[in-house]
Amino acid sequence: MILYEGDEIVLHHHKGSSPYTVITFTGLNFENAARDFFMLKNVARIKDIDVIGFATKKPNWFLSDEMQAAIKVMNATIGFGRDRLVFGQSMGGYAAIKFSKQLSADYVMALSPKISIHPDECDIDETYHQYLTHKMTGMSVKMGDVRGKIFVLSDPHDKTDSYHTRLLCNVSPDIIHIPTFHTGHVVYESMAGSKSISSIIDALSSGQSARVQREICVQRRRNPANLRNRLFRAKPRHMKLVARALASDQIDSMKNRIFIFSHIGFILGVIYTASLRGEHELAKRLKRKLVTNLAVSGPEDIQTEALTANNITGPLCLDCHQRIVCYDIENKCLTVEPLTGRGPTMIPVYPDPLNHETDQPACVTLLGEEYRLVQQDGKIGLSPDRRTQAKTIVFVKKGAYYLISNGSELATSLHGGSIVFSTTIENAWERYVVL
């Protein structure tokens, strides 16, 4: 229910049975949902936790004249004698620490907070200048703002968050930093879930640093976001290891593995690189696992698209930008499309599987019948004739990958989503894998 609503600040309350009250602050980009959403809303409902949620209609870092009125309403609602736990991510993390004294906080958990966004007080990306108002002069967290035992969670590999964490830890000896490696800025994502968050909140209510750190570690290990982030980071140097992890049977035991496989571009990038390096069977196994997870475990809209994309007689041809090579039957040309979301006139292209020559004719399947692609007068048409003609589009086998040729020029896959025949020189943009 809404306890208070002004022009900027909205105060929500979910009355729960927990022996403590959690006071939360939303992060940036939730301004339009301020009347309907507050941090930990679903966790409060599912786990019956007493939560007071501060939300803001403006990206103002909660620096509003309405905060005092909202805090007064909050105090009247909670009363005194209950432990107060304060929780926030990013902009909300800043507010959680900044208002901790005014909120009479006992314990605070701030995820990726900033000490300030004012350039006079700290180094800050220029993108934050759009949020600056006159109220933000001198907005930095100061010793006089701080109350309670404060835990700051941030990724040491994130340069911006690591910088602000150091500044915050210099403000008060009561601030304890818990490093959350591989989370990036959105730490909350790596421990999300009602069961995980409620366990961490319970640990926070104890005030025991060792218990809080242990619980965060345990819950993050179980979260697919943590595995996903590690795989993202490992791919450039350990591609084969990443491919094996994604294709393994162990990953099937993860309840929310679709959280990983929904990153289709990343998975296809692993598949492309693995195949390009000669790990063809590993790439094929991972492709099957990707399509299966999208079709069986994905959201309904992705399921439909994945099933449509999987309705292919021949193998898939991938370009260097992790897209599928298709024949555009309407415009009579080659193009590239995402695995899911292909238009109805886009038909996947593949090399003739019955032809074992170095040059294999490019084929498509339409209504159960196979056709070859032939270039005529600058356009590419369909031919039912299985004999290789002068202008037949062919896949040229080059070890682990293919080139696509019209007989005189090679097909280049452009970043914007089209294919052109304009070069005789082979570069990375002309290399395709088929699986």
> Which residues make Cβ contacts (< 8 Å) with residue 19, sequence separation at least 6?
82, 83, 205
Scan for tokens 């759009």, then name that residue.
130
Please report the pLDDT score of residue 308 as a whole number. Answer: 52
Query: Shortest CA distance to 56 belongs to which of 45, 66, 48?
Result: 66
Spatial distance between the Cα atoms of 145 and 358, rounded to a whole number of angstroms: 72
In Å, how far are 158, 162, 224 from 184, measured between CA atoms? 6, 10, 14
Give me the pLDDT at residue 314, please.
62
In sequence order, what are the residues at sequence separation of 6 or more whose Cβ sits closer than 8 angstroms to the Cβ of residue 52? Answer: 3, 11, 12, 13, 21, 22, 23, 24, 74, 77, 78
Residue-level pLDDT at 310? 44
Give the span between the Cα atoms of 152 and 110, in whole angstroms. 5
pLDDT at 311: 45
Q: Which residues of the chain have pLDDT under 70?
A: 297-314, 341-342, 387-390
State the pLDDT at residue 256.
Answer: 79
Q: Which pTM was predicted? A: 0.76
Amino acid sitting at position 204: L
Instruction: List the end-to-end C-alpha distance of the chain, in Å, as a whole number.
Output: 54
